[in-house]
Structure 1
Amino acid sequence: MAEKLEDLNLPNAVVTRIVREALPDGVTVAKEARAAVAKAASIFILYLTSSANIIAKKSNRKTVSGQDVIQAMEDIEFDQFIAPLQEALENFKKNQKEKKDASTKKKQQKKDEDDSGEIHEDE
């Protein structure tokens, strides 16, 4: 758990980047507006996490899953964000699988190289 309330805030650089990407070029955002967006985002994340945690607990689980978050989005009536969230979750899973497959392949290649370079005593 966070020791101070400030520990729950999102990093300012991240909030600034997200706000800039969401707005057209040439639009500036006041410091207090960025602070308000950061606070609102933090509160939303806490609320969503709490809702997802309730869903996980109802299923007798301690780990919140991506599906719990999607269900929580529906429960808190943010239905319009479910499709993009599902797409992002699928992309994340795909990227994780590709990384794992690449790592496994690299380990196998290294093992094959090591095996082919060994000198066997019976030779």
Structure 2
Amino acid sequence: MDDDQQESMLPIANVGRIMKQILPQTAKISKEAKQTMQECSTEFISFVTAEASDKCHKENRKTVNGDDICWALRTLGFDNYAEAIVRYLYKYREAERHKANSSRDNREESNYRVFEKGGTSQAEPS
């Protein structure tokens, strides 16, 4: 395998780490097994991404999003993966909304100073 092909692959250390998560702690993984999984997972991701990218191109869009990936998984017959990704994407978007709302609320609170005057609170912009 040449350097260009190696650069477009997922990092083998990450692949190995993911593989170890599912196996018993005493299990060992050969370098060949890690390389095989690296090649297969990289190819799978490229396959799905190409399908999603084609859809975006046909729709004159330049950005592939999570919904495009889910569509591509279904189109390619990976319905079980698509269902899991749809659930993940929903939870991810909810968390991002919550984080954005919390950040906005914190910014708004920091824009005001509270002064005690005569026993009552009064907010004044800073």
- Bigger fraction of residues in helix: 1
Q: CA deviation at 1:22?
A: 2.1
CA deviation string 1:39-67 (max 9, x = no partner): 11111111111000011122221111211
Of structures 1 and 2, the one scoring higher in RCO (CA 8 A, sep 6+) is: 1
Aligned-partner SS, 1:95: helix
Equivalents in 1 of 2:12, 2:99: separation in Å?
29
Q: Which residue of 2 aligns with 1:98?
A: 98
Question: Is 2:38 the counterpart of 1:38?
Answer: yes
Check conservation: 2:15, 2:38, Cα contact below 8 A. yes
Question: Is 2:98 the counterpart of 1:116?
Answer: no
Q: Aligned Cα RMSD in Å?
A: 2.0
Larger radius of gyration: 2
1:1-123 pair list within 5 angstroms: 4-113=4-113, 116=124, 118=126
Equivalents in 1 of 2:86, 2:24: separation in Å?
26
CA deviation string 1:73-114 (max 9, x = no partner): 011111121111111111111111121112111111111239
Equivalents in 2 of 1:4, 1:108: separation in Å?
49
Aligned residues: 116
Aligned-partner SS, 2:29: coil
TM-score by length of 1: 0.83
Q: Percent identity?
A: 25
Unmatched segments (≥5 aa) in structure 2: 115-122
Equivalents in 1 of 2:93, 2:47: separation in Å?
24
